[in-house]
Amino acid sequence: MHLKDKNVILGICGGIAAYKTCDIIRQLVKLQANVECILTKSGANFITSLTLQTLSKNKVHQNMFESIGTYDINHISLAKKADIVVIAPATADIIARLAVGRADDLLSCTVLTSKAKILICPAMNSDMLSHKAVCNNMETLKNYGYSFVMPESGELACGDYGSGRLAKVEDIVSFVIKQLN
């Protein structure tokens, strides 16, 4: 099983689980996928672009307005290149932004532009996850055809017990493999 010639655009949002994304990248790269990370402004508080760049062996995309060397507009070229867009961890905030079609950063613009499969892997506090607003937003995204690998139950970073922990890396990677083969 390999993912040679497959382009995975990986969005990393501002949650504690961002450190687990490193393992997702390592496993996808091992399978020979080309992994390009989009790190949100909040996500950069949790993990460095240097780490993501080193593991993915690619430049990390952070800024929609950076100067365009190749005349490729970043969010359009990433969206077109994607065989799949994975957001892990996906915050309540990006889920809300996508549910209303916001396009206020590179990640949301890329998702709105892409015709590729969109996989959302939420991670958040269990009370946040069960809030009606978050549930309704996830329902909206499911109606748009987006897929979800839902969080697990267990001890959360805040010390609470409940659902909200990012799904197992193996489950996220398995979904990507199944989708791209």
Ligand X SMILES: Cc1cc2nc3c(=O)[nH]c(=O)nc-3n(C[C@H](O)[C@H](O)[C@H](O)COP(=O)(O)O)c2cc1C
Give contact residues for ligand X (rule: CB under 6 A).
13-17, 40, 42-43, 91-94, 123-124
Please state the three-class secondary structure of 73-92 as a single string.
Answer: CHHHHHHHHCCEEEEEEECH
Tell me the closest approach of the beta carbon of residue 145 to ligand X, in angstroms: 21
Catalytic residue among 13, 109, 135, 158: 158
Count other C-beta atoms under 10 Å from residue 45's C-beta.
Answer: 11
- Coil, strand or helix at 23: helix
Host H or E run for residue 113: helix 106-113
User: Which residue do the tokens 């139950």 mark?
Assistant: 153
Residues in the chain: 181
Tell me the closest approach of the beta carbon of residue 55 to ligand X, in angstroms: 19
Q: Output DSSP code: residue 15.
A: S
Q: Which residues on neighbouring strands pair with residue 115, listed in sequence order? A: none
Tell me the closest approach of the beta carbon of residue 59 to ligand X, in angstroms: 19
CB nearer ligand X, residue 55 or residue 92: 92
CB nearer ligand X, residue 80 or residue 93: 93
Tell me the closest approach of the beta carbon of residue 121 to ligand X, in angstroms: 11
Give catalytic status of residue 121 as yes or no: no
CB nearer ligand X, residue 15 or residue 25: 15
CB nearer ligand X, residue 94 or residue 169: 94
Residues noted as catalytic: 158
